[in-house]
């Protein structure tokens, strides 16, 4: 598991640096997710565990002071180890619309490709989440990859009413350099 703080310079376009998660980032990831207004919020404990157990498939954007301002969490699917499933992407309101989410996704997929190999990216997006739809479509275009969509979990699959269907986005094949 990678736990070293990123020394990557801030990108000119976004003004943030991106690196792997630290256990101490868990509370900030929960705070950012809670503030997103879009994500299904998990318990604070789960974000701490995520930063411990899935740090190698998580990326955190930090402002100039080193404070987390965005994140992307994911995991490699056990049945398809070349597939990165993106669990959550969230960016603080003050940094939204500046390309941070795309920068996070690019950095994470490049790191996973270099460390483990990567053939495709998957994620689920609800039909009403237009920002995520645009982000994943843009990612596919940047990487010259096909994007397909199909309903993975219909709304009726959820135990409470009001949850939209979760549409599976499959992006690939990817041609990212491996180590």
Contacts of 133 (CB under 8 A, 6+ apart): 125
- Given phi > 0 = left and psi -120 to 50 = alpha, else beta, which region is 5? beta
| pTM of the predicted protein model | 0.89
Is residue 32 within 8 A of residue 92, CB to CB? The reply is yes
What pLDDT is recorded for position 7? Answer: 38
What pLDDT is recorded for position 9? Answer: 46
CA gap 89, 91 in Å, rounded: 7
Using pLDDT thresholds of 50, 70 and 90, give the confidence band for residue 4.
very low
What pLDDT is recorded for position 63? Answer: 94
What pLDDT is recorded for position 69? Answer: 96
**What is the pLDDT averaged over residues 48-55?**
96
Q: Read off the pLDDT of residues 76-86 as tens digits, 9 standing for 90 and up.
A: 999 999 999 99
Name the strands in the sheet holding 80-91, side by side, starting at the edge strand that comes first in the sequence: 17-20, 58-62, 68-77, 80-91, 120-125, 166-172, 146-153
Q: Considering only residues 170 and 38, tell me which one the structure prediction assigns the higher pLDDT.
A: 170
**What is the pLDDT averaged over residues 132-143?**
96
Burial (CB count <10 Å: 0-12, 13-18, 19+), residue 52: middle
Helical residues (DSSP H) of 15-87, grouped into ranges: 26-36, 44-53
> Checking DSSP bridges between strand 120-125 and strand 80-91, what pairing results, if any?
parallel
Using pLDDT thresholds of 50, 70 and 90, give the confidence band for residue 95.
confident
Q: Read off the pLDDT of residues 10-38 as tens digits, 9 standing for 90 and up.
A: 465 668 899 999 999 999 999 999 999 88
What pLDDT is recorded for position 179? Answer: 66
CA gap 73, 47 in Å, rounded: 9
What pLDDT is recorded for position 3? Answer: 33
């Amino acid at each position: 598991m990678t736990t070293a703080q990123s020394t990557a310079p801030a990108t000119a376009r976004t003004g943030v640096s991106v690196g792997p998660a630290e256990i101490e980032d868990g509370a900030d990831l929960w705070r950012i997710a809670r503030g997103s207004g879009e994500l299904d919020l998990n318990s604070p404990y789960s974000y701490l565990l995520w930063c411990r157990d899935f740090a190698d498939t998580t990326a955190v954007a930090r402002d100039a002071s080193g404070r987390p301002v965005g994140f992307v969490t994911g995991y490699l699917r056990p049945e398809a180890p070349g597939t990165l499933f993106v669990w959550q992407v969230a960016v603080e309101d003050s940094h939204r619309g500046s390309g941070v989410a795309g920068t996070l996704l690019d950095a994470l997929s490049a790191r996973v490709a270099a460390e483990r190999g990567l053939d495709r990216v998957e994620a689920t997006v609800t039909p009403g989440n237009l920002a995520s739809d645009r982000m994943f479509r843009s990612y596919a275009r940047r990487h010259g990859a096909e994007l397909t969509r199909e309903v993975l979990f219909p709304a009726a699959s959820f135990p409470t009413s009001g949850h939209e269907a979760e549409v599976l986005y499959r992006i690939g094949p990817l041609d990212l350099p491996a180590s």
